Amino acid sequence: MRSHSAKVLSLILFSLAAPALAQAPGWHYSPLPGEGDRASLGCARHSTSTDFTCLAVRCEADFSVGVHIHDSRAGGGAGAWLMTADREDRTMMARAGEGPYGARFDDESGWLLDRLRHGTFIYLRHEDDSEAGFAYIDLAGSFRAIAEALYWCAPRAGADEQNTGPDVDAAEPNGEKQ
C-alpha cells in the first residue's frame, strides 16, 4: 500500500514538472500540447520554466518548415530579432501567428534553418530589449533533433506518382514459371 501511494505521488510530481521540461536548455522534441513529434525545440543555456528563449523548428500543416520563437518576453516574440549565428550577424522579423509559439520568423531564404541545422551556436535578442543580454543557444544536437521533427514533413507520393511494380513473373524454386 505504501509503495503504491509513493508511485502515485511521484507520478503527480513528474506531471507537475512537465512544463519546466518544455524550456529545458538544449535541443529536444517539443513537449508543448499538440506538437507531438512535429517540432523540435532548442532553448537557451540559462532557460527556466519562467524565463526562457527557445527556437522551434516545426513541420507546418501544409508540410512547409517553420522556424518559431518561443519566449517568456512580456511583449511576446513578434518583432525584429538581432542574431549572431556562427559569427554572422542578421536581423530577422518574427510575425505573431496561431499555434503554441510566440511568433514565426520570415525565413524565405532558409538562412536561419540552415544555421540551426549546421551551426555551432546562436545568440539572439529582441530588438526592443537593448538593455538585456543575448540568449545563447548551443546548436549541438540540433541537426538530429530537427531531422527527427521534419521526418514526417515530406508529403507522401500519391498513387499516380508511385513507380509500378517490376514486370517479373514469379518462378518456382526450380526456375520454372508457374
Q: Is 7's pLDDT higher than 60?
A: no
**What rounded mean pLDDT belongs to the chain?**
83
Question: Would you say 60 and 40 are in contact if contact means Cβ atoms under 8 Å apart?
Answer: no
Q: What is the pLDDT of residue 1?
A: 47
Confidence of residue 17 (pLDDT cuts 50, 70, 90): very low
Cell 543555456 belongs to 45
Confidence of residue 173 (pLDDT cuts 50, 70, 90): low
Other C-beta atoms closer than 10 Å to the C-beta of 128 total 12
What kind and span of H or E run contains 142?
helix 142-150
d(CA 56, CA 42): 6
Q: What is the pLDDT of residue 153?
A: 79
Question: Would you say 42 and 55 are in contact if contact means Cβ atoms under 8 Å apart?
Answer: yes
Of the chain, the end-to-end C-alpha distance in Å amounts to 66
According to DSSP, the residues that pair with 88 across neighbouring strands are 85
Query: In this prediction, what percent of the chain has a pLDDT beyond 90?
Result: 57
Report the pLDDT averaged over residues 34-47: 91
Indicate the residue type of 1.
Answer: M
Note the pTM of the prediction, 2 decimals: 0.75
Report the pLDDT averaged over residues 1-7: 50
Q: What is the pLDDT of residue 171?
A: 62
Q: Is 73's pLDDT higher than 80?
A: yes
Q: What is the pLDDT of residue 148?
A: 92
Confidence of residue 13 (pLDDT cuts 50, 70, 90): very low
Q: What is the pLDDT of residue 22?
A: 62
Q: Which of 61-75, 112-126, 141-155 has the lowest mean pLDDT?
A: 141-155
Report the pLDDT averaged over residues 7-24: 47
Please classify residue 92 by burial: count the beta carbons closer than 10 Å to its beta carbon, then call 0-12 exposed, 13-18 middle and 19+ buried.
Answer: middle
DSSP classification of residue 73: -
Question: Would you say 124 and 134 are in contact if contact means Cβ atoms under 8 Å apart?
Answer: yes
Residue 121: half-sphere exposure toward Cβ, Cα within 13 Å: 9
Question: Would you say 103 and 66 are in contact if contact means Cβ atoms under 8 Å apart?
Answer: no
DSSP classification of residue 1: -
Query: In this prediction, what percent of the chain has a pLDDT beyond 70?
Result: 75
Q: What is the pLDDT of residue 12?
A: 41
For strands 79-85 and 65-71, give the pairing: unpaired
Q: Is 11's pLDDT higher than 50?
A: no
CATH class of the domain whose range is 24-154:
mainly beta
What kind and span of H or E run contains 144?
helix 142-150
Could you state, in order of their start, the residue ranges of all structural domains in the chain?
24-154
